[in-house]
Amino acid sequence: MTSVTEPASGRFELRFLHVVRRNFLVWRKLMYASMVGNMADPLIYLVGLGYGLGAFMPPVDGMPYINFLAGGMLCYSAMNSATFEALYSAFSRLKVQRTWEGILHAPMTAADVVVGEWVWAALKSTMSGAAMLLAMYLLGIVHGLRPLAVMPVVLLIGLAFSGVGLIMTALARNYEFFIFYFTLVITPMMFLSGVFYPRAALPAALQWVGAFLPLARGADLARGLTLGLPVAHPLLDVLVLCAYAAGGVLLALGLIRRRLLT
């Protein structure tokens, strides 16, 4: 099976923005439901667990539990937004609505579609991250301008999870397939990445696994930038996230080309 080779272009092509814009226009129509799912949900967790569970907790890394948790929930919400978008929403456009098929009938390429979806899902996770950061300001967890520097990290987390999520979408035959990904990948990742407690609390072997996970890398960076915690390997954190983002989108593109253009 060969797929259509797309002629390389001499200049950087921005056609993927048409796909981003299309998704934005749909989002604008459905944005209230989308905001409740992507933004309110992690906020409720933050307040509920942060104050409820936090009342029984000693300070973590020298700060109230809710502060520590907020740094993790910021990344968790970015992961969740990108993942839901790249899985369920993108799969609807691939299979149920055949939106991508229609786009490919125009002078658009599979790369335009996949990069557009990748960037769009990452933008959605950036919106969720921004909402979490705003909540952290309102709850008095962060102050000043320095925490804003976390936003590029949130975008990077979004690109990493949307890239990996699009691989799952490219492989999926139905929505049920995503249950495997959520249960076997996303949920363990959440517990191995130190969202709710420091990774140091885990057995050494599980800590070692965590070192390879994009959510753990993102959480370390985000806690450093928002809460001032020391970051052990900032450069490596960025590189790991970039590797997931680039590797994810490239593999997804290859798989989607094979699926749609053979």
Partner 1 sequence: MLQVRGLRKSYSGNEVVRGVDFSVAAGECYGLLGPNGAGKTTTLRCCLGLTESDAGTITLAGHAVPAQARAARSRAGVCPQFDNLDPDFTVAENLVVYGSYFGIARRTVQERVPRLLEFAGLEDKADAALATLSGGMKRRLTLARALVNDPQIIFLDEPTTGLDPQARHLIWDRLKNLRAAGRTLILTTHFMDEAERLCDRVGIMDHGALIAEDTPRNLIGTRIEPHVVEIYGDGVQAFAAKVAPRHAGRVEVSGGTAFCYCRDPAPLLEALQSSSGLRALSRAANLEDVFIKLTGHDIRD
The tokens for 32 are: 């209230």
- Cite the DSSP H helix spans in 10-139: 16-29, 31-35, 41-47, 65-84, 90-91, 99-105, 110-138
Which residue, 103 or 222, is less far from partner 1 as judged by CB? 103
Q: Total binding residues for partner 1 by CB under 8 A?
A: 29
Q: Report if residue 183 touches partner 1, rule: CB under 8 A.
A: no
Q: How far is CA 90 from CA 15, 19, 179, 185, 224, in A?
A: 18, 11, 15, 19, 32
SS3 call for 60:
strand
Q: Report if residue 18 touches partner 1, rule: CB under 8 A.
A: yes
Q: Report if residue 98 touches partner 1, rule: CB under 8 A.
A: yes
The count of C-alpha atoms lying within 13 angstroms of the C-alpha of 98, restricted to the half-sphere facing its C-beta, is 3
Q: Give the separation between CA 48 and CA 210, rounded to whole angstroms.
A: 26
Q: Report if residue 111 touches partner 1, rule: CB under 8 A.
A: no
Strand partners, 63: 60
Q: Which of 8, 12, 29, 140 binds partner 1 (CB under 8 A)?
A: 29
Which residue, 123 or 130, is less far from partner 1 as judged by CB? 123
Q: Report if residue 31 touches partner 1, rule: CB under 8 A.
A: no
Q: Report if residue 15 touches partner 1, rule: CB under 8 A.
A: yes
Burial class (CB in 10 A: 0-12, 13-18, 19+), 17: middle
Q: Which residues, other chains included, contact 110 with Cβ-Cβ below 8 Å and sequence gap of 6+?
A: 3, 4, 6, 104, 253, 256, 257, 260, 261
To partner 1, the closest distance from the beta carbon of 98 in angstroms equals 4
Q: Report if residue 179 touches partner 1, rule: CB under 8 A.
A: no
Q: Report if residue 1 touches partner 1, rule: CB under 8 A.
A: yes
Which residue, 251 or 261, is less far from partner 1 as judged by CB? 261
Which residue, 7 or 203, is less far from partner 1 as judged by CB? 7
Q: Report if residue 105 touches partner 1, rule: CB under 8 A.
A: yes
Q: Report if residue 170 touches partner 1, rule: CB under 8 A.
A: no
Q: Give the separation between CA 184 and CA 248, rounded to whole angstroms.
A: 18
To partner 1, the closest distance from the beta carbon of 140 in angstroms equals 39
The tokens for 20 are: 């981003």
To partner 1, the closest distance from the beta carbon of 25 in angstroms equals 7
Q: Report if residue 55 touches partner 1, rule: CB under 8 A.
A: no
Angle at alpha carbon of residue 39, lines to 180 and 44, rounded to 5°: 90
Q: Report if residue 107 touches partner 1, rule: CB under 8 A.
A: yes
- Which residues would be at the binding site for partner 1 (CB under 8 A)? 1-5, 7, 15, 18, 21-22, 25-26, 29-30, 97-99, 101-109, 260-262
